[in-house]
Amino acid sequence: MRVKTFYGWSEKGMDKKVNEFLEDTTLEIIDIKFPTPVFYFCAMVMYKTTAYSKNSIE
């Protein structure tokens, strides 16, 4: 299992970053954590690479 952390100063900006990451069809998304800090937005995506993509994702 791997994680990718995102942050943004606006909801729209962070949504764009996360959605672009989720477009990768070689990933199996396990969970997305979304805490609610005061001054910015952040999310942590937990995922696994598929057998096909293990050598191509870093």
Per-residue pLDDT at 58: 46
Rounded CA separation 13/26 (Å):
23
pTM value surpassing 0.95: no
* Pair 8, 14: CB distance under 8 Å: yes
pLDDT of residue 44: 94
Asked if residues 26 and 57 have their Cβ atoms less than 8 Å apart, the reply is yes
Q: What is the pLDDT along the chain (58 residues), one digit of tens a residue?
A: 999 999 888 889 889 999 999 999 899 999 999 887 778 889 999 999 886 655 554 4
Residue 11 CA to residue 14 CA, distance in Å, equals 5
